[in-house]
């Protein structure tokens, strides 16, 4: 009998859980259904992986956010941030709830128009608006938020040959105590550039200055920066009232509220640390109320909250493809959904749950996607239940930015479905196929035959 080859032993550490306040155990409660629709049946019908949205959660979150602000301030408006998620069905849920559209490109602008949003209810942000975009927006009486002086001069130039007076606001950036400061968008407050821009607009009678805008950052985990920003915005508005007797119609505080996702390296889960809509509202509105606005000139408060309104409503369901051991013995699971579908996995420690009842035992596991690329890591190491090949999983809170920043890379983008208030399932974006891609390609005659 020959000598058997040596196999390196692997000691598997099964984790029964660290003691927590409620006892022993790291629990990963399975998600077996979404709004009452069984997960496995969704994937059987629409494929795996699959994005699933809950209309109920979207509407509830919107109402919660709107109530937090409107109960404290008489005149509040939300504008849906298209780049956060511009699947038409999702946008239209927000529009039905009363949200205007907030867009940052000509493409998004036209998408909002096609969704039936009145041109006057579109806020046009962003550092690049083409001449065609500006002409369209001026004709539609949209709210154009100016990003830099060159854009201001463009608008002045274009407006000379137009009958309509452009409705403009100035985007302001400022020191809010978070560093590095976002100073690349808009005009700076501290160095006087914002005030300079406002003065130029006021001295040019062909423009109508309707508002002030700021968007201080994204995933802002504390409410204090909003207090600072609101005060500075109010100061500018009061300055305009004093100098020009001009009362702006609105102050737009942008977006940036954190969702309940957990940032990489976060010690506590985001669900425990993220401020509530009430907290953010209190910070912003207490400053606006303190400012010297006369009651009949209190500006409307606009918010462009994206992430915090949609993250919770989106799920990514999928299937475990395989389990393996890495060279050091660590367990690894390969999923059929990778970072090409989940751009936010570069920032968040996503909450991944079993899609069916499994044992409470966990083991430190690396969670990979299906791509043949080293970057395709959903979680580098997390205590994860022992799912087997073929088992379903669900990643929670993926509604923000993933369906706009996803890549067609190595695999094709899958179906996106919406569960409506009655539990009925609708495809809201169909999966891509080889034909989808080939439609956009041309192979010259001399390359047809290989």
Interacting residues toward ligand PLP by CB under 6 A: 81, 83-84, 102, 104, 125, 215, 218, 254-257, 304-307
H or E segment to which residue 150 belongs: helix 149-160
* Shortest Cβ 289–ligand PLP spacing (Å): 23
**250 vs 257, which CB is nearer to ligand PLP?**
257
Terminus-to-terminus CA distance in the chain, angstroms? 54
**368 vs 401, which CB is nearer to ligand PLP?**
401
DSSP string, 15-60: B---EETTEE--------EETTEEHHHHHHHH-SSEEEEEHHHHHH
In 3-state terms the chain splits into helix, strand, coil percentages (rounded to 5) of 30, 25, 45
Closest CA to 350 of 398, 308, 391, 386: 398
**256 vs 414, which CB is nearer to ligand PLP?**
256
**177 vs 329, which CB is nearer to ligand PLP?**
177
**43 vs 194, which CB is nearer to ligand PLP?**
194
User: Rounded CA gap, 374 and 428, in Å?
Assistant: 31
Which backbone phi and psi does 381 adopt, to 5 degrees? -165, 125
Left if phi > 0, otherwise alpha if psi is -120 to 50, otherwise beta: which for 4? beta
**80 vs 368, which CB is nearer to ligand PLP?**
80
* Shortest Cβ 133–ligand PLP spacing (Å): 15
User: Rounded CA gap, 154 and 206, in Å?
Assistant: 13
Q: Reply yes or no: is the peptide bond before residue 57 cis, omega within 30 of 0.
A: no
**254 vs 275, which CB is nearer to ligand PLP?**
254
Report the residue closest to ligand PLP, judged by CB. Answer: 255
**28 vs 215, which CB is nearer to ligand PLP?**
215
Helical packing angle, 131-139 and 106-114, nearest 10°: 30
**189 vs 257, which CB is nearer to ligand PLP?**
257
* Shortest Cβ 281–ligand PLP spacing (Å): 14
CB distance 207 to 165 below 8 Å: yes
- Who contacts 52 (Cβ-Cβ below 8 Å, separation ≥6)? 34, 42, 314, 315, 316, 317, 416, 417, 418, 419
* Shortest Cβ 310–ligand PLP spacing (Å): 8
**230 vs 365, which CB is nearer to ligand PLP?**
230
**Alpha helices in 207-299, H assignment, sequence order:** 224-244, 270-273, 277-290
* Shortest Cβ 268–ligand PLP spacing (Å): 20
* Shortest Cβ 308–ligand PLP spacing (Å): 6
* Shortest Cβ 220–ligand PLP spacing (Å): 8
* Shortest Cβ 254–ligand PLP spacing (Å): 4
CA dihedral 233, 236, 240, 243 (to 10 degrees): 160
* Shortest Cβ 306–ligand PLP spacing (Å): 3
- Who contacts 392 (Cβ-Cβ below 8 Å, separation ≥6)? 39, 40, 43, 48, 317, 318, 319, 320, 354, 355, 356
* Shortest Cβ 126–ligand PLP spacing (Å): 7
* Beta strands 23-24 and 19-20, pairing class: antiparallel
């Amino acid at each position: 009998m020959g000598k058997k080859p040596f196999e390196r032993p692997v000691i598997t550490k099964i984790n029964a859980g660290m003691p927590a306040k409620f006892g022993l155990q790291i629990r990963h409660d399975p998600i077996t259904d979404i709004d009452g629709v069984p997960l496995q049946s969704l994937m059987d019908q629409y494929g795996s992986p699959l994005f699933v949205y809950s209309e109920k959660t979207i509407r509830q979150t919107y109402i919660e956010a709107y109530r937090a602000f409107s109960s404290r301030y008489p005149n509040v408006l939300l504008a849906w941030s298209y780049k956060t998620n511009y699947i038409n069905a999702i946008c239209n849920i927000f529009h039905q709830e009363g949200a205007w559209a907030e867009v940052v490109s000509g493409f998004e602008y036209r998408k909002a128009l096609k969704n039936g949003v009145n041109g006057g209810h579109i806020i046009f942000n962003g550092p690049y608006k083409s001449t065609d975009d500006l002409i369209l927006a001026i004709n539609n009486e949209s709210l154009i938020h100016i990003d830099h002086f060159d854009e201001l001069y463009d608008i002045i130039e274009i407006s000379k040959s137009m009958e309509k007076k452009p409705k403009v606001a100035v985007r302001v950036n400022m020191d809010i105590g978070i560093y590095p400061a976002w100073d690349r968008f808009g005009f700076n407050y501290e160095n006087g550039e914002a005030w300079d821009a406002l003065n130029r607009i006021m001295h040019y009678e062909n423009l109508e200055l309707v508002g002030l805008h700021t968007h201080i950052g994204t995933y802002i985990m504390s409410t204090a920066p909003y207090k600072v920003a609101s005060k500075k915005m109010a100061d500018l508005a009061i300055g305009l009232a004093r100098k020009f007797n001009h009362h702006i119609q609105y102050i737009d505080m942008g977006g940036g509220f954190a969702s309940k996702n957990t940032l990489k390296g976060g010690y506590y889960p985001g669900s425990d640390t993220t401020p509530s809509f009430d907290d953010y509202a209190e910070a912003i509105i207490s400053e606006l109320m303190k400012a010297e606005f006369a009651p009949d000139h209190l500006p409307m408060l606009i918010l462009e909250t994206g992430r915090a309104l949609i993250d919770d409503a989106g799920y990514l369901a999928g299937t475990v493809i395989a389990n393996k051991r890495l060279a050091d013995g660590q367990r690894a699971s390969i999923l059929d959904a990778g970072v090409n579908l989940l751009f936010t996995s570069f920032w968040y420690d996503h909450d991944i749950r079993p899609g069916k009842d499994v044992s409470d035992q966990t083991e430190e596991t690396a969670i990979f996607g299906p791509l043949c690329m080293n970057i395709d890591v959903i979680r580098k190491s997390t205590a994860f239940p022992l799912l087997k090949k073929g088992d379903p999983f669900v990643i929670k809170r993926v509604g923000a930015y993933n369906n706009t920043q996803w890549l067609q890379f190595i695999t094709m983008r899958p179906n996106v479905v919406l569960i409506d208030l009655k539990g009925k399932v609708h495809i809201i974006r169909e999966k891509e196929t080889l034909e989808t891609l080939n439609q956009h390609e041309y192979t010259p005659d001399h390359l047809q035959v290989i």
